[in-house]
Amino acid sequence: MNRQEQFLDVIDRDEARRRFDAAVPHGPLGEILVPLDAALGRVLSRDIRSPVDVPMFDRSNFDGFALRAADTVDADEEHPRGVRLVGPPLTPGIAPTRAVGVGESIPVATGAMIPRGADAVLMVEFSDAVADRLAVRRAVPPGFGITYTGTDIAADEVVLRRGERLTSRETGVAAAVGIAHVWVFRTPRVAILSTGDELVEPGAPIRPGLIYDSNQRVLADAVREVGCEPSELGIRPDRFDELAAAVDQALDDHDAVLLSGGTSKSDGDVSYRVAGRFRDPGIVAHGVALKPGKPICLAVSRGKPVVVLPGFPTSAIFTFHEFVAPALRRMAGLGPAMRETVRARLAAKINSEIGRTEYVLVGLIERSRGDSCSAKRDTTGGKDAHPRWAAYPMGKGSGSVTAFGRADGFVTIARQVEIVDAGEQVDVQLLGCGLVPADLVVIGSHCLGLDWLLGALQGRGWRTKLLNVGSMGGLDAVRRGECDLAAIHLFDAESGSYNVPFLAEGLECIPGYGRVQGIVFRPGDARFEGRTVEQAMERAKTDPACVMVNRNAGSGTRILIDRLLAGARPNGYAIGSRSHNAVAASVDQQRADWGVAIEGAARRRGLGFVPIAEERYDFIVPRARLDRPPVRDFIALLREDATRAQLRAFDLRPD
């Protein structure tokens, strides 16, 4: 061949992506169990549920005295109250041997276990101890100075979700709950070869006509950034037989193969001809209407991607992120990458070529304070009157190394656009890594079913965030536009129905499922075993030795409890737990004798359960967010048969 062949079948970027994505694996390559000390940077393939409560017992937050808050009422420096000092003192690692009675206190050290009967800790500096008497010089409320069992994490609670990439924060959480091994997705291995007689390894002597190979370095690190393991196989000359043998060996040993250079159709370009040997399907695209990156060659062999990237550095990295990175992320178990976008005013006109999608590197300059003082960050795709940033096109070509290294981001110019005038507003995708927001934010009431739903959504590539603040807190948050979904179970006494009566303008109720709330107790407790709700509540309200665990104010369960108590304030009423799991943990560990939680939380700990009522657990969403893809996927997930079966396994009742 004496002249360069033309690209006869150049295709659109979106069509090239569709063909390539259809031919490569659509999910992770399997999972393995690894020690926690080898898990950093890996992607969880299964949810991690805590096998223990954290803390595992009620503990003191500081040195002082464990006592009953009621014995400190009205105490101050001028009018101390006296209580009896009993022992032995409690230190970390020592279990109490006696309870605290009325008018008693026990010395307790920071981190030590709180004895039964005590509901507060008096700091040592606000007391005077003489012989067996303690002078209390400050009143303390119930719960003061105590971190209760399961307050941080309750046993069987999801602490890490599948699809999360493990950083030091996540490994620390796993260690804190005693996890020594974790299930992670197998890390895809990616072979990287550079081709070209003109290439020299960095650090080697160089002469005119040769260039240092930068593509192998940038591609290897880019592969690491998407959760895969690169194998740098060095430089290969432009000789067909030698390169073909290297690629075949790489395919045997790896999950994907990347080459850079030799993708054009000239006599000296052999990479695309090596890829051309493959079938099933082999080459799916060679030549894409893209600038930079037109010569890219996308192929698949044995279900493994084989991609010949352009030799120019900027072209190579752009096409890597456009086509290869999404496929590798799926193979590694990661969700789609999310680049931060800012709106900017274009500082100079850009001329583009009709028929090709073009990426233009830009440098961002912050505009004067006079222009930006009224600007707000745009997250909806709308236009600001005064964008904060000005975007300057770098314009140094696909072979420029410095342009990519110094650019702040890039502007995408659609294939049908020929000119973008100076002064026009553009969206700039940032190249640097920043804080990535969650795709779906849920605020409101806790539920075992919701934990599973969000885990399943994470498994489909969405990042989720959940804040358990109770039904009223969730309702307030969604009214303010602070979340995508509010999880609530609020009963309206006037209408006798759940949730819908609380809707405000612009909000819609997405039906969730039913669940049964009831009294949770330890099996064999005659105050509750075999009793009706009315009988059980009568015993709970009248027996001073019967300790309850409450729920946090504002939660739907707290509203239910207050309705049942009808103004009564049993022992333990002042202490609220943040979740159903935490309530069950308190009862299971005998800090409390009863509480109200959903049936699934009780069953998982083998606790007794007196049903109170079936309630509705639904999701409130702003109508303006109904069309957001993660919201649509959440709603679709709720309706799947497999989801309904899983919810039933949690003792929940889907419609």
Bridge partner list, 11: 288
Give residue 409's pLDDT band: very low, low, confident or very high (50, 70, 90). Answer: confident
Q: Residue 596 contacts by C-beta under 8 Å, 6 or more apart in sequence?
A: 517, 518, 519, 520, 551, 557, 560, 561, 564, 583, 612
Nearest partner of 455 among 47, 117, 178, judged by Cα = 47
pLDDT at 7: 43
Nearest partner of 580 among 594, 560, 600, 564, judged by Cα = 600
Is the pLDDT at 73 greater than 90? The verdict is yes
- For 423-441, how does the pLDDT look when each residue is reduced to its tens digit (9 = 90+)? 899 998 888 654 355 789 8
User: 562 is written with which tokens?
Assistant: 């207050």
Bridge partner list, 344: 389, 426
According to CATH, what is the number of the domain 445-655?
3.40.190.290
Q: Residue 499 contacts by C-beta under 8 Å, 6 or more apart in sequence?
A: 488, 489, 490, 509, 616, 618, 620
Average pLDDT over residues 448-477: 89
Average pLDDT over residues 279-291: 87
Are 67 and 100 contacting, i.e. CB atoms less than 8 angstroms apart? Answer: yes
Is the pLDDT at 243 greater than 80? The verdict is yes
For domain 13-28+187-332, the question of CATH label 3.30.70.600 is answered with: no
Average pLDDT over residues 241-260: 93
Average pLDDT over residues 395-413: 69
Of the two residues 167 and 409, the one the predictor is more confident about is: 167
Burial class for 252, CB neighbours closer than 10 Å (0-12, 13-18, 19+): exposed
Average pLDDT over residues 39-60: 93
Average pLDDT over residues 287-312: 88
Is the pLDDT at 459 greater than 70? The verdict is yes
Nearest partner of 55 among 142, 110, 113, 140, judged by Cα = 113
Is the pLDDT at 575 greater than 80? The verdict is yes
CA–CA distance, 495 with 240 (Å, rounded to integer)? 79
Least trusted range by pLDDT, from 200-209, 245-254, 635-644 = 200-209
Average pLDDT over residues 187-194: 94
Of the two residues 467 and 173, the one the predictor is more confident about is: 173
Residue 106 has phi, psi (to 5 degrees) of -130, 130
Average pLDDT over residues 266-274: 73
CA terminus-to-terminus distance, the chain = 68
- For 515-530, how does the pLDDT look when each residue is reduced to its tens digit (9 = 90+)? 999 999 999 999 999 9
For domain 42-54+152-182, the question of CATH label 3.90.105.10 is answered with: yes
pLDDT at 381: 42
| The dihedral sign for the CA sequence 280, 271, 261, 258 | positive
Q: Where are the domains of the chain?
A: 13-28+187-332, 42-54+152-182, 59-147, 341-430, 445-655
Alpha helices in 388-493 (DSSP H): 401-406, 448-459, 471-479
For domain 341-430, the question of CATH label 3.30.479.10 is answered with: no
Are 290 and 242 contacting, i.e. CB atoms less than 8 angstroms apart? Answer: no
Per DSSP, the three-state class of 251 is: helix
Instruction: Write b or e for each residue in 65-78: b if 16 or more Cβ atoms lie within 10 A of its Cβ, otherwise e.
Output: bbbbbebbeebeee
The CATH number, out of the four listed (2.170.190.11, 3.40.1160.10, 2.60.40.10, 3.40.718.10), of the domain defined by the range 59-147: 2.170.190.11
Mean pLDDT highest for which of 11-15, 67-71, 543-547?
67-71
CA atoms within 13 A on the CB side of 163: 20
User: 626 is written with which tokens?
Assistant: 């109904």
Are 416 and 460 contacting, i.e. CB atoms less than 8 angstroms apart? Answer: no
